[in-house]
Structure 1
């Protein structure tokens, strides 16, 4: 199946879109990827060694979940909506930073989906080797909740 770029499914604007390609989406999972290089979308976030610090892993995983949600919303003729990361558990990485020219594959597997709350088991791989794992809890606020949080100043 052909997918749009990840930005199509997210309510974010540059430079806050941090993943590029969508490889797979179904009811239970989403797989996206991004290249770590100076020419790509991650360039504003690279450190002095041109590597991506590992603390960005949480955002990469959260945006992959956002693609999953945006894709399913679009199937139901809804535009991408803002989601909120409530927290993460057991976030572990074998790297301090993702090296320059590495190809990051980000996997998000649905564990629990209960109305507006969901939990995903996530991992990031380089060359089919798992380098980062974590469990993320996310929340999808409705329009009223977003208005209460942000008023008329919305992101996206």
Structure 2
């Protein structure tokens, strides 16, 4: 199956989109990728050696989950929704940073889903070797919760 670029499934705007290509989405998993490249979408996040610090691994995994969620929303006639990362467990990284020109393949596998709350087992691979692994807990707030969080009334106007 052919998919749109990852940005299509996310509520983010550039430059905050950190994953590019979508390789697979099904009921339980999503696989996306991005290349670490000083001329690519990750350019503004690279260090002086044109490497991506490993602290961005969690965001790469969270955005891949966002692609999964956005895809399933779109097939149910909903536009992509803002999600929240609640936390991670057992996050392990083998590298302090991802090398320039490395191709990162991000795998997310659904473990638990309960309407707005989900848990995913995640991995980032370079050349088929797992360099990051962990479990992420995510939450999709509804519009009322978002309005409360951002200090807005039900019409989207700022509370006074």
TM-score where L is the length of structure 2:
0.94
What are structure 2's unaligned runs of at least 5 residues?
A: none
Q: Does 1:57 align with 2:48?
A: no
Residue of structure 2 in register with 1:43 after alignment = 43
Deviation at 1:115, TM superposition (A): 1.2
Q: Does 1:111 align with 2:87?
A: no
Residue of structure 1 in register with 2:136 after alignment = 136
Give the SS at the match of 2:90: strand
Residue of structure 2 in register with 1:147 after alignment = 147
Q: Does 1:101 align with 2:83?
A: no
4+ residue stretches of structure 1 with deviation over 6 A?
Answer: none
Give the SS at the match of 1:79: coil
CA distance in 1, matches of 2:40, 2:76: 31
CA distance in 2, matches of 1:38, 1:47: 10
CA distance in 2, matches of 1:137, 1:117: 7
How many residues in Structure 1 have an aligned counterpart in Structure 2?
A: 154
What are structure 1's unaligned runs of at least 5 residues?
A: none
Tell which has more relative contact order, 1 or 2 (C-alpha 8 A, sep 6+): 1
TM-score where L is the length of structure 1:
0.97
RMSD: 1.1
CA distance in 2, matches of 1:71, 1:132: 24
